[in-house]
Amino acid sequence: MTEQLLGQALVEEATKKSGLIWVRGDGPERALWHAWHDGAAYLVGDGPGEQPLPGLTDGGTARVTVRSKDKGGRLVAWTARVSAVAPDSEPWEAVTTELKGKRLNAVDAERMVERWSRECRVLRLTPESSTTELPTSSLAAPPPATPATTRHPIPAALPRLLLGRGRKRSSKRHA
């Protein structure tokens, strides 16, 4: 019983203090921003300009990994029950207030919660079990596919064009 209580306390404290949590549902594992409120982690996403929440379904489960903010090492991993928070439900206002406080760089901060109710999903991840044991494998995964490309080398003449090097300047003054 004491070990279970310590595990719950570690999950709560580590998740509260972490800016990102790594979450894996039925899809790929993703780093997601969150807010801790009332014994659970809350996520908002799957809407325009918000984080994707692939593989997280209402009634499903997810695996959450919390890393140390300063060292980046894994502190605790926990299994969560996933449930959707409906816009007209009792916890909606309190949860979205917490999420709004954590949301960085929002272009529509005044109408953000209204937009979330129309276009996004808010999910509650309720801890069910936890472990501090280190995994036996590396847990490394290939990065998700993206249309982004690597930069190509700049043309050799570009620095001369931009910085004006190579031009001979006249030292004669015109009267």
Name the pLDDT band for 169 (thresholds 50, 70, 90).
low
Q: Residue 49 is part of a domain; what is its CATH number?
A: 2.30.110.10
Name the pLDDT band for 140 (thresholds 50, 70, 90).
confident
Rg for the chain (alpha carbons), in Å?
24
Asked if the structure places residue 34 within a domain, the reply is: yes
Asked if the structure places residue 164 within a domain, the reply is: no
Asked if the structure places residue 68 within a domain, the reply is: yes
Asked if the structure places residue 12 within a domain, the reply is: yes
Asked if the structure places residue 167 within a domain, the reply is: no
Asked if the structure places residue 95 within a domain, the reply is: yes
Q: Is 30 helix (H, G, I), strand (E, B) or coil?
A: strand
pTM for the whole thing?
Answer: 0.78
Q: What mean pLDDT comes out for the span 21-27?
A: 92
Asked if the structure places residue 158 within a domain, the reply is: no
Alpha carbon distance 22, 33 (integer Å): 9
Residue 145 phi/psi, 5-degree rounding, is -60, 145
Tens digits of residue pLDDT in 58-70: 999 999 999 988 8
pLDDT, residue 6, reads 85
Name the pLDDT band for 107 (thresholds 50, 70, 90).
confident
Alpha carbon distance 78, 62 (integer Å): 8
Domain count of the fold of the chain: 1
Asked if the structure places residue 119 within a domain, the reply is: yes
- Residue 30 belongs to what domain range? 2-131
Number of H helices, E strands in the chain: 4, 7
Within 8 A by CB and 6+ apart from 58, the residues are 82, 83, 84, 123
Tens digits of residue pLDDT in 6-16: 888 989 999 99
Within 8 A by CB and 6+ apart from 20, the residues are 31, 32, 33, 34, 67
**Is the separation of the CB atoms in 77 and 53 below 8 Å?**
no
